[in-house]
Amino acid sequence: MALIEKISAEQIADSRNEPTIKVVVKTSDGESAEASIPSGRSKGTHEALALPAADAIANIDNVLDKKLHGVDVRDQREIDTKMIGFDGTANMSNLGANAILGTSTAVLKSAAASQKMQIYRYVGDMIGRVKFTMPTPIFNVINGGKHAKNDLVFQEFSIVPVKFDKFSDKLEAGKKVFLEIGKLLDKQDISYAYGDEGGYSPAGIKDHKALDYLIDSIENAGYKPGEDFMIALDIAATSITDYDEAVDSYLKLIEKYPIMGLEDPFDEDSWHSWTELNIAIQNSNKKIIVVGDDIFATNLDRLQKGIETNAANAIIVKPNQCGTISEVLSVVMMAKENDYQIVVSHRSGETPDAFIADLAVGVGAEFIKSGAPNENTPERMNKYLRLARIEEEI
C-alpha cells in the first residue's frame, strides 16, 4: 500500500503572472508527486469555484492534509468523494476547487508513481483502456474575445491538422502554419501582440479577415485547407439576442470556410438554440463537431441534459471546471457511451504542468487544446512536447 503521509501546497504564478497553487502529495513508500492548477479568464457560471491561492493553501494545510492522512492513494474515488464531503457545497466554495483538484491530481500522480506506471497508462487502467491512441491538436493561433485586446468577437481561431498520421508531424505542421500567420501579418503591416493562449492578437481586423488569414497561411505553408488542415472556432458567445440569425450566420460560415468545429456558439443556458444548430448541421451532412464548454462545464448532470436535448456532439473537458479526477472520468465515460467526441483542454491562465496530455491519451480523447504551437509559451508547448514523448512510447 501507498498511504498519504503529507499533503502540502505553495503559491506559484500562472502564465498571466497571477497567483495559483502547486500541491505536493508524499506517500509512505517514498514517492511524491505535484500538480499545479490553471485558471480561466472566460469562465462559465456553472464551474466549480476556485478560491484565492492563500485560502486554498490554508484549506489544504488545515483540512485536507489532516483528514486524508493515512488513506491509500490508489483509492481515487474514495479520496475524491471524501473531499467533496469535507467541502459540503455544490460548487466547492468552502475548500475551493483549486485545493480539491490540486490534491486529486497529485493523488493520482502519486498512485501512478507507486505502481511504477506512466500517468496516461494509470488513467487508462482506471477506465479499462488497454489500447492508446494520440489526440489531434487544435491549435489556437489567433486569439480574440476575452483572451486578447483586439476587435475580434470570436475567442479562438484554430487550425486542426487532420491529414497527418503522427502527432509529431501534426505539431511540426502546426508550427509551420503558425509562423506563416506572423509573416502574413507583417507583410500586411498589421500590428499584433500575443494573446493569453500564445496566438497572435492582431489589431484592427474583423472575424472574417482572421479566417481569410488562416486559409492564406495554410496555403503559404504548403498545405491544402480542407484537406491537410481544417478550422475550429471557439465563439464563446454570451450576448447573442437574435438566435435564428445566429444559426443562419454559422451555417453560412460553414459553407464558406473548411470549419470542422464550433465551440460555444450560444451562451451556457440557451439549450433550444444549441439543439436547433446541432440538428441543422446534422441535416447538412457536414462532419462538424458542435462542442460544449460553458454549457456543460465538465458536469455530469449538464452533459446528461445535453444528450437528452441533442444540444451538441462533443464536449470540452477541463478538470478545474468540476474539481476532481473521478468526476472528470465519469463525464468522459458518459460522453463516450453517447458517441460524443472529447476535447481535453487547458485554460487561458496555465502552468507548466503537462497532466492534461496524459489525461487526453489515457481517456482516448479525440482532440486536445493547449493553445498555439508557440515556442515562447512553454506552459503551452509542455503539453504538446509531452504528447510527442508519449507517442514515441506507445
Catalytic residues: 197, 318
Q: Comparing C-alpha atoms, which of 228, 220, 284, 229 is closest to residue 251? A: 284
CB atoms near residue 69 (< 10 Å):
12
Closest C-alpha to 226, from 284, 287, 270, 178: 287
Q: Return the closest-CA partner of residue 325 out of 80, 82, 135.
A: 80
- Chain position carrying cell 505502481: 115
> What is the C-alpha to C-alpha distance for residues 251 and 247, in angstroms, rounded to an integer?
6
Q: How distant, in Å, are the alpha carbons of 118, 234, 248, 289 from that of 281?
A: 39, 16, 11, 9
Phi, psi for 227 (deg, rounded to 5): -120, -60
Strands 19-27 and 156-161: unpaired
Q: Which residues pair with 139 in a beta bridge?
A: 159
Q: For the chain, how many residues are written?
A: 394
CA atoms of 338 and 226, how far apart (whole Å): 27
Task: Output helix, strand, coil percentages for the chain, rounded to the nearest 5.
Answer: 45, 20, 40
> Which string of DSSP letters, residue by residue, matches 316-364?
EE-HHHH--HHHHHHHHHHHHHTT-EEEEE--SB--S--HHHHHHHHHT
Neighbouring residues of 314: CB distance < 8 A, sequence distance ≥ 6: 261, 289, 290, 291, 292, 340, 341, 342, 343, 366
C-alpha cell at 18: 497571477
